[in-house]
A and B are shown apart, each in its own frame.
Chain A
Amino acid sequence: QQQVKQSPQSLIVQKGGISIINCAYENTAFDYFPWYQQFPGKGPALLIAIRPDVSEKKEGRFTISFNKSAKQFSLHIMDSQPGDSATYFCAALTSGGYQKVTFGTGTKLQVIP
């Protein structure tokens, strides 16, 4: 019940295209859903996050879509650029308390020119 399932495992997108990464969770106690971007040899960096009281959040080229009833959320990267090539992790946690983060398995994105 603690798992967060992430797909696809890897993704190749043409420059300028839309990258879409999907995640699904089981634990209805989760109430905060961040996405992290990680470059090789670096720690994860917070990209964007959403709470289940909204269905969509947009920051620049990055958009999270959230479907509470389906317990699914996705990251859309518009106008994908080669610099977006990285591994992306979705995550889920329960705010308050010790906030143990449950990470997805990661998606390696490659944006080709």
Chain B
Amino acid sequence: GAVVSQHPSRVICKSGTSVKIECRSLDFQATTMFWYRQFPKQSLMLMATSNEGSKATYEQGVEKDKFLINHASLTLSTLTVTSAHPEDSSFYICSARGQGRKSTDTQYFGPGTRLTVL
């Protein structure tokens, strides 16, 4: 299957700081990338959808000024959690939908980033 990477895999930060998470599609061009948040023992909650070169579309209840998403190229999307607080601690997962030889109906998920805000 296609490979999607995330960096960092784990981050611990102090309250009030900003954290950037990178999501890369390694072997295909991702026309659309998605960002999810997952709480323990729960399903994935879609936060936003981003298309390369355009503004992200945020789901209802997700603060766009707090969770900044940039999809600058067909292989990279970033999620920046600004002024992080303990309640932002969660598992953040990206996924990418490909084009070309990769199925455009299949989303490939990254390994996730565990964010802990102290």
Contact = CB atoms under 8 A, between A and B. Distances in A.
A41 B6 CA distance: 13
B109 A41 contact: no
Contacts of B106: 34, 46, 49
Main secondary structure of the interface of B (DSSP, over half): strand
B114 A100 contact: no
Interface in B35-75: 41-44, 46, 49, 51, 57
Given A43-B111, A44-B109, A98 B32 contact: yes
A103 B108 contact: no
A99 interface: yes
24 contacts: A32-B105, A34-B106, A41-B91, A41-B112, A43-B4, A43-B93, A43-B110, A43-B111, A44-B44, A44-B93, A44-B109, A46-B108, A46-B109, A49-B106, A89-B44, A98-B32, A98-B49, A98-B57, A99-B32, A101-B34, A101-B107, A103-B43, A103-B44, A106-B43
Interface of A: 32, 34, 36, 41-46, 49, 89, 93, 95, 98-101, 103-106, 108
